[in-house]
Amino acid sequence: MSETLKSIERRSSTRSYTAEKLTPEELDTLLTAGLQAPTATNRQELRFTVLPGDAPILFDIQEAMGGRARPTMNFWYDAPTVIVISGERDFRWTAVDAGIAVENIALAAESLGLGSVILGCLKAAMDGDATGNFAGTLRFPEGYGFQIAVAVGHKAADKEPHTYDRTKQVTVL
Ligand SMILES: Cc1cc2nc3c(=O)[nH]c(=O)nc-3n(C[C@H](O)[C@H](O)[C@H](O)COP(=O)(O)O)c2cc1C
């Protein structure tokens, strides 16, 4: 099996991280994987904001999430790095492009032996009343909005990939 297929097969969401930080090289590899993702019409409209796991804005977002946050753990699971992806609100393919980019990052993390978890749970907080503050602090360009985020770090626990029902999900005509 190719290394690419192995990474796709092995990736699963990591919700427990060690305190070990990413090296600059690891972070650079993850960001490069995001930048190498295709975008519709090659528009390259996505922006990647990198935050350390102790960035005050993460705690502010957590607070804004209110009841959506898990009571026992912060939404980034104490991962040492969180990458927030923003994109042009008015481009019709932004959400699809962000989804492709975030999976590229998740697969790159897996191939480096790192864990990751894609984070959508902050969306409502990012789109809510506090958006102006968050967008400014996260340096979103004008007209940009939150799309998706991903937490990355060293796995403290392994989780099996999800199972699926091929007969339900696939139709071959
Ligand atoms: C768009 C999207 C948003 C997600 N948001 C969250 C999230 O906010 N918090 C979380 O713990 N997991 C989140 N996940 C991870 C999913 O729960 C996870 O991918 C799914 O349960 C399948 O498990 P696996 O990734 O281990 O295969 C998200 C995944 C996707 C694709």
- Interval 4-26 mean pLDDT: 97
The model scores a pTM over 0.85: yes
Residue 121 Cβ contacting ligand 1 at under 6 Å = yes
Please report which helix (H) or strand (E) contains residue 49, including its range: strand 47-52
Give CA–CA dist 29/23, Å, rounded: 10
Query: Which residue of 74, 84, 116, 117 sits with most ligand 1 atoms within 8 Å of its CB, as the best mutation to test the pocket?
Result: 117
Q: Among 16-25, 64-73, 163-172, where is mean pLDDT lowest?
A: 64-73
Domain ranges for the chain: 3-169
What digits encode the pLDDT tens for the residues 64-85?
998 666 668 899 999 999 999 9
The CATH architecture to which 3-169 belongs is 3-Layer(aba) Sandwich (3.40)
pLDDT band, very low/low/confident/very high, at 49 (cuts 50, 70, 90): very high
- pLDDT (0 to 100) of residue 69: 63
